[in-house]
Amino acid sequence: MKSGIHPKYEEVTITCSCGNKMHTRSTLCKDLQVEVCSKCHPFYTGTQKVMDTGGRIERFNKRFGKLSTHK
């Protein structure tokens, strides 16, 4: 490899808003702040909320169900 053409590859700390800190390596060379991580994201923690779309689908079909895309 040629010297002097590649960016620095240093250790950085990623800090989540929940307080979790992770260490990784990056060419960014500065610490990162993120809003969600695997420790607090609803998908990973199991606290994911399921929206009730049944009523919405029925309302959509009631409003637009008579329209046909076939010609």
Q: What is the pLDDT along the chain (71 residues), one digit of tens a residue?
A: 788 899 999 999 999 999 999 999 999 889 999 999 989 888 878 887 766 666 777 888 888 887 766 65
The pTM assigned to this predicted structure is 0.57
Backbone angles phi, psi at 62, to 5 degrees: -65, -40
Domain ranges of the chain: 10-63
The correct CATH number of 10-63 out of 1.10.3720.10, 2.160.20.60, 4.10.80.400, 3.40.50.720 is 4.10.80.400
Rounded distance between C-alpha atoms, residue 24 and residue 20, angstroms: 13
